């Protein structure tokens, strides 16, 4: 699914998504296709706990915690020292 499709299907929600098709351009991660792993009411803490557990259990998979009120995704790439790359 695209971000637009997800926003329409899950309005005003916190989501855990997995990037299925993504690329990096000018220091930003562009997610072309993603899959919703879990949806949460408009409360961030349970989503954060789920996100941390998924990332710990599956470190090679690309998960994101996102809120669907966000019209556009602006995901910056960070280096190993947690600095935003350009």
* Residue 18 placed within a domain: yes
Round the average pLDDT of the chain to a whole number and report it.
92
Q: pTM for the complete prediction?
A: 0.88
85 within 8 A of 27, measured Cβ to Cβ: yes
Tokens standing for 78? 């960070």
Model confidence at 80: pLDDT above 70: no
Which residue did the predictor score with more confidence, 34 or 84? 34
Total domain count for the chain?
1
Distances 15 to 39, 42, 86 between C-alpha atoms, Å? 5, 10, 27
User: Does residue 84 lie within any of the structural domains?
Assistant: no
- pLDDT the model gives residue 3: 97
Task: Give dist(CA 34, CA 57) in Å, integer.
Answer: 19
pLDDT at 42 (0 to 100): 86
Domain carrying residue 10 = 3-76
Q: What is the mean pLDDT of residues 30-42?
A: 96
């Amino acid at each position: 699914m695209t971000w637009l499709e997800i926003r329409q299907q899950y309005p005003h929600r916190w989501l855990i998504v997995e990037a299925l098709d993504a690329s990096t351009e000018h220091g930003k991660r562009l997610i072309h296709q993603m899959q919703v792993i879990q949806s949460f009411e408009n409360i961030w803490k349970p989503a954060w706990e789920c996100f941390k557990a998924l990332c710990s259990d599956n470190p090679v998979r690309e998960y994101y915690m996102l809120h669907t009120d966000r019209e556009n995704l602006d995901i910056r790439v960070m280096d190993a020292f947690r600095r935003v790359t350009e």
